[in-house]
């Protein structure tokens, strides 16, 4: 497998996509979730419902306009086209909002009385307490970005920008399938997910209990 394919390059690209997606989800979704959970502003509930409603839109309907938009920006056929869709998600915002709503508001009130700003309260007090939720968000983001195939299959044709799932499809053709390489590459692609979940499973279970997602 390592001699006859670019599996290491594909793994590296998938690591980049997943790492950027996880970091972006942790920052953007936690900030958005905290805003919807704690801040009071006009249209908060309506905005949140509109964001949640986008879950009902099938992904297939978004592929063509997304492709056109990415083509105009000039990131089609690059690794960036696989990264951008994973910068944030509706599920991540919902998960973090549910978790923040379960935290006692008195913690933030005490910090604000001591002179801490709203953003400082979030980064110094709330964000460290959200480690279980952040671990769960990281797991879901890793699973989604690492296993994503349909969108990279449409947006990426350059072999140097293949992710691991897109590269594995090269072992299966219309007339012939190289089963030995296909099975070996699937094992290699699955191992990082198993290792990551082993280290984060305790936080994952804790968040399912606290946030009500169970």
Count of C-beta atoms within a 10 Å radius of residue 67: 15
Average pLDDT score over residue span 5-32: 94
pLDDT in tens, 143-160: 899 999 999 999 999 889
pLDDT in tens, 158-213: 889 999 999 998 888 767 788 888 899 999 999 988 888 787 777 667 666 655 54
Question: Are 202 and 139 in contact, with CB atoms under 8 Å apart?
Answer: no
pTM for the model stands at 0.85
Distance, in Å, from the CA atom of 145 to the CA atom of 6, rounded to the nearest integer, reads 19
Domains, in order of start, for the chain: 7-211 (1.10.3720.10)
pLDDT in tens, 45-94: 899 999 999 988 888 899 999 999 999 999 999 999 999 999 999 999 99
């Amino acid at each position: 497998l390592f001699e006859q394919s670019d599996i290491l390059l594909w793994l590296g690209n998938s690591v980049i996509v997943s790492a950027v997606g996880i970091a972006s989800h942790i920052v953007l979704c936690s900030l958005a979730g905290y805003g919807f959970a704690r801040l009071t502003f006009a249209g908060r509930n309506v905005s949140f419902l509109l964001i949640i409603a986008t879950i009902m839109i099938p992904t297939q309907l978004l592929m063509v306009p997304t492709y056109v938009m990415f083509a105009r920006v000039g990131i089609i056929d690059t690794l960036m086209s696989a990264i951008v869709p994973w910068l944030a998600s509706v599920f991540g915002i919902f998960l973090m909002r549910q978790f923040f709503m379960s935290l006692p508001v008195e913690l933030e009130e005490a910090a604000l009385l001591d002179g801490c700003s709203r953003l400082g309260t979030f980064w110094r007090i709330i964000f460290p307490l959200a480690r279980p939720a952040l671990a769960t968000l990281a797991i879901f983001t890793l699973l989604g970005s690492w296993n994503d195939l349909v969108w990279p299959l449409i947006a990426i044709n350059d072999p140097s920008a293949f992710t691991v799932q897109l590269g594995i499809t090269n072992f299966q053709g219309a007339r012939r399938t190289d089963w030995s390489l296909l099975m070996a590459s699937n094992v290699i692609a699955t191992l990082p997910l198993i290792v990551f979940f082993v280290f984060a499973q305790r936080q994952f279970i804790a968040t399912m209990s606290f946030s009500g997602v169970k």
